[in-house]
Structure 1
Amino acid sequence: MAEEKIQKLIKLRSSIKSKVTILNKYVKVLQSGGPPSDLQLLDLEGRFKKFDALYAQYDELQSQIEVLSDDSDTQELEREEFEGQYYSLAAAARSVLGARPARQYEQPLNRSLSSYEYVSLQQTGGKNLAKATVNKCMRCFRYRAETVQPIMGQLPASRTELEFPFLHCNVDYAGSVKACHIELVTALSSEAYIAALNRFVSRRGKPKSITSDNGSNFIGASNELAQFLLQSELEGQMAQEGIEFKFIPAFTPHFNGLDF
């Protein structure tokens, strides 16, 4: 009676082992080829859900066989062999299934998976999978690119002197500056410019140098302003006042915000 029951249990156990063998062959086919398609992954996911419940069925049958069988050593080896095959196949199947979630997370978010997401996916070797997925993504490569940070040059001497404000100053008509003193002039003439300078000196003190736009970036209607700035009499009047009147280099309007 006991022998007949053991034979029935062994047949049921064999059917479970055959299902494991079939899934093992299917996973090897997916691993040997290229990246599995979404349809193949969906099919594997359905099979894996059924496979996940096989161990409980096997454990119940094997426990009954071990109780009824006289050869406990053989049954113990049988259990160890099945468990080794089962867990190895589970790890391989999860590795194949983990490739799809990694791509799904990486593409919209442009990042790798977090540790919490590894746990939720039950992914073995999830860190390596995330690195491989991100490294193969061209969009991620572009986002990780670092811009070149230019090295700042040494500050000029005029920027480090402990003197009163506006000792070294720049002048520009609607140019780019970091700090400015605004004076309104009535005309593009030397007299109007000197009047504006006198108002500036009475408010801020007499500067040591004034740096002006050289006029090379003016076009069209602004040519008149360029000609005015380049008048030799303007520089001479500045020299009489003890002020050095300088021009920025050609095609460098950004210099008017920095001393050089």
Structure 2
Amino acid sequence: MMEDLPFTRVTQARSFLRVAIDYAGSLSMKENRLRKTRVYKVYVVVFVCFEVRAIYLELVWDVSTNAFIAALNQFVTRRWLPSVIFTDCGTKFVGVFNKLPDLVNDPSCHNQITGSTYCTWHFNPSAALHLGGLWEAPVKYIKSLMT
């Protein structure tokens, strides 16, 4: 017999209320189509909705904590702050988790977020990589499309 699905997967809610976040690796992006053009290395941040499995992609220039905060800021501007975030234990995610209370409480960063808004962050255990299957499958699909 199979185990029941988690509560976060079966309750009805607006899209992107509960999300999973992961990086889809690096890509090479050309400035234009000319032969001797600059090539930039960019990274894709993948936001996966738990309710309908919709995918939101955001490009960042590096894998630093500040770049991820900028991507999360773009996501919050378009989709609102999620109530639950699931990620692996990457250093960029842990760094943002430590800075998140300051970002939410700062009115100059997000003036649309009220004081009652909260965000719960869940990390996968380091030894249990199989627990992130919901968001690793879209990452695998995106990598296959972009290579």
Range of TM-score over shorter length: 0.5 to 0.7
Selected match of 2:9 from 137, 148, 159 = 159
The CA deviation string for residues 145-177 of structure 1, in whole angstroms up to 9 with x for no partner, is xxxxxx221121111222101111111112897
Q: Which residue of 2 aligns with 1:211?
A: 86
8 Å contact kept, 1:186–1:192:
yes
Contact 1:210 1:243 in 2 (8 A): yes
Q: Whole-Å Cα distance in 2 between the matches of residues 171 and 252 of structure 1?
A: 16
Superposed counterparts of 1:4-153, under 5 Å: 151-153=1-3
- How far, CA to CA, are the matches of 2:93 and 2:71 in structure 1? 14
Match of 1:229 in 2: 93
1:194 maps onto 2:44 in alignment: no
Structure 1 runs (4+) greater than 4 angstroms displaced: 175-179
Amino acid at match of 1:254: H
In structure 2, relative to structure 1, the CA distance for the partners of 1:160 and 1:179 (3 Å cut) is same
Q: Which has the higher strand share?
A: 2
Counterpart position of 1:171: 21
3-state SS of the aligned residue for 1:228? helix
- State the Cα deviation string for residues 45-68 of structure 1 (Å, max 9, x = none): xxxxxxxxxxxxxxxxxxxxxxxx
Q: Could you tell me which amino acid in structure 2 is paired with residue 239 of structure 1? A: P
Question: Matched residue pairs, number?
Answer: 96
SS at match of 1:155: coil
1:238/1:244 contact within 8 Å kept: no
Given that 2:68 and 2:92 are in contact with CA atoms closer than 8 Å, whether structure 1 keeps it comes out as no
Residue aligned with 2:127, SS: coil
Answer yes or no: is 1:253 the counterpart of 2:111.
no
Larger radius of gyration: 1
Shift of residue 228 of structure 1?
3.0
Counterpart Cα distance in 1 of 2:66 and 2:92: 11
- 1:105-131: CA deviations, max 9, x gaps? xxxxxxxxxxxxxxxxxxxxxxxxxxx
Please tell me the residue identity of whatever aligns with 1:207.
P
Q: Which structure is higher in helix share?
A: 1
Unaligned runs of 5+ in 2: 26-45, 105-117, 136-147
Amino acid in the other structure paired with 2:79: R
The normalised TM-score by structure 1 is: 0.33
Residue of structure 2 in register with 1:181 after alignment: 56
AA aligned opposite 1:236: N
Partners in 2 of 1:252 and 1:179 — Cα distance?
24
TM-score (norm 2): 0.54
| 1:179 positional shift | 4.4
Gaps of 5+ in 1: 1-150, 215-225
**Matched residue type, 1:227:** T
